[in-house]
Structure 1
Amino acid sequence: MNPASGYLTGYAYTLNPYVGCTFGCSYCYVRRMPLALFKGNPWGEWVEPKPFDGEGFRKEWRRAIAKGGVTIFMSSATDPYQPVEYKEKLTRQLLEAMAEEPPQFLLLQTRSPLVTRDIDLLKQMGDRVRVSLTIETDLEAVRKALTPYAPPLAARLRTIRELRQAGIPTQIAISPLLPCSAGFPALIAEAAERVVVDDFFRGDGSGGKRSAQLKMAERYRALGAESLYAPETADAFVDDLRALMPQGSVYFGQEGFLP
């Protein structure tokens, strides 16, 4: 566990079970961090499980719980449900330890349907956990162009419904909003109990500089969506969602990710 800071101020700790991420999304802000820049291999082509000592982690965890105020963002620089998690089960081992003495709050941020494997543990945490599932568009062509190694959108929509049916607190993270159809707000309003929207200009941790370095405007131009690459696009999308969803269920940016 590492002390949280910056965009995640409001959490006590971040927890990243893996180093690297094989989903390799084109817009990921981690691409511009030293972790990715100085590795040598391109971001998205490698992932390394962190060493895990179950008893050692439990001792650290119990000490933190005794002090109080344990709020966790999992994860800030990787997806806790990497494809390798099927084999490693590192995230599951961490959740098993947490479920023994639940934190004040855990936000589990992922884009992987594998999260449903751990419904049994998430249920044990009750309302102290929220699964935040990324769904940035409803267009598979856009997903394939900008996040080709991420799970298909239909699988993610099934995941959010399965989690809700199991009684797990959830939200959909449209972060960042990508080019989508006119029907996307209605699709999200039907699927989600809570939504957070973000964009490339206020959500990349650098006021849009990292997104510019990643040439996101050029990627939009290649998709014929250059006019959508503006803060106003997300603002209008939020307005559409708020017209469809209950008051207090739609957030923008950092507020929607806080404990």
Structure 2
Amino acid sequence: MADSKPASMKKKAPIRLLNPASGYLTGYSYTLNPYTGCAFGCSYCYVRRMPIALFRNEPWGEWVDAKPLDEAQFRKEWHKALSKGEVTVFMSSATDPYQPAEFKEQVTRRVLEVMVEAPPAFVIVQTRSPLVERDIDLLQRLGAHVRVSMTVETDLESVRKELTPAAPPIAARLRALRSLREAGIAVQAAVSPLLPCSEAFPALLAEAAPRVVVDDFFRGDGSNGKRSAQLGMAERYGELGHGELYTPETADRFVDELKRHMPEGAVYFGQAGFMP
């Protein structure tokens, strides 16, 4: 699954798992991150410029802290949240809930097991990992209360290997999308952020997912492009020979092309596509 060395992994019990949503995720009640850190370590990840990454002595992508789940404690926290009103959850905002550590730790699966007992109004599961297929049984039980959002930023493996070398192959993600869809689970493809791709990418997405959300480096990094600039993404595009694509207009053109392949209301841009 990965082209780089495995991330070091520690366990650190959290005070709570549910955190009030804010900023880009205003519209959700809570965010839930089963892990701190992310072994996929994508070069463009906005979390690299957040305190959790900046003040860690290890490079982003080379460490992961699992949050061991005390089921009784989380069940109490969950029911307390439900008692206060409608609960909507974004999982996950600063990590991937199905990164390699989840194979063994199963924090995400155990969280979903508690949710199945008393479903929220809505939970979005944001991932780029085919491991999400393992939990089809739980996702089916959540029914209309869940959507799986699978990140697919390009259809070019050459680009994936340059910019997200430790992330799962594109073909595996597309297979997972189709598998989840066939199992009756609501899904979307998240082209977030749009990376250099082929002209066939819009048609490929339209075949794989009934709903697509697109984002870019300028409007989707939570800082109007400042974090992406600090990460040197414009320079990386130049090094790869795609410098002319590093503009907001690239994503705008891509959205227009997607709309030609998909039904009305199936294509979103930015924040609106991630909302409950």
TM range, normalised to the smaller chain?
over 0.9
TM-score (norm: length of structure 1): 0.99
In the alignment, does 2:133 pair up with 1:133? no
Map of 1:82 onto structure 2: 99
Decide which of 42, 45, 48 is 2:62's aligned counterpart: 45
Decide which of 171, 175, 193 is 2:188's aligned counterpart: 171
Q: Is the 8 A contact 2:194 2:215 kept in 1?
A: yes
Map of 1:29 onto structure 2: 46
Map of 1:18 onto structure 2: 35
Map of 1:200 onto structure 2: 217
Task: Give structure 1 regions of 4+ aligned residues with deviation exceeding 6 angstroms.
Answer: none
- Once the two structures are TM-superposed, the CA of residue 90 in structure 1 deviates from its matched residue by 0.5
Identity of matched residues, %: 71
In the alignment, does 2:116 pair up with 1:111? no
In the alignment, does 2:81 pair up with 1:64? yes
CA–CA distance in structure 2, aligned partners of residues 115 and 199 of structure 1: 24
Read off the aligned partner of 2:48 and give its amino acid letter: R
Give unpaired runs (5+ residues) of structure 1. none
Pairwise CA RMSD: 0.5
CA–CA distance in structure 1, aligned partners of residues 75 and 156 of structure 2: 42
Q: Is the 8 A contact 2:68 2:107 kept in 1?
A: no
Deviations along 1:108-136, one digit per CA (max 9) or x if unpaired, are 00000000000000001111100000000
Give unpaired runs (5+ residues) of structure 2. 1-17
- Once the two structures are TM-superposed, the CA of residue 188 in structure 1 deviates from its matched residue by 0.5
Map of 1:124 onto structure 2: 141
Map of 1:6 onto structure 2: 23
How many residue pairs align between the two structures? 259
SS of corresponding position for 2:90: strand
Decide which of 209, 218, 241 is 2:226's aligned counterpart: 209
Map of 1:92 onto structure 2: 109
Read off the aligned partner of 1:130 and give its amino acid letter: R
SS of corresponding position for 1:171: strand
Decide which of 224, 227, 230 is 2:244's aligned counterpart: 227
TM-score (norm: length of structure 2): 0.93
- Once the two structures are TM-superposed, the CA of residue 50 in structure 1 deviates from its matched residue by 1.2
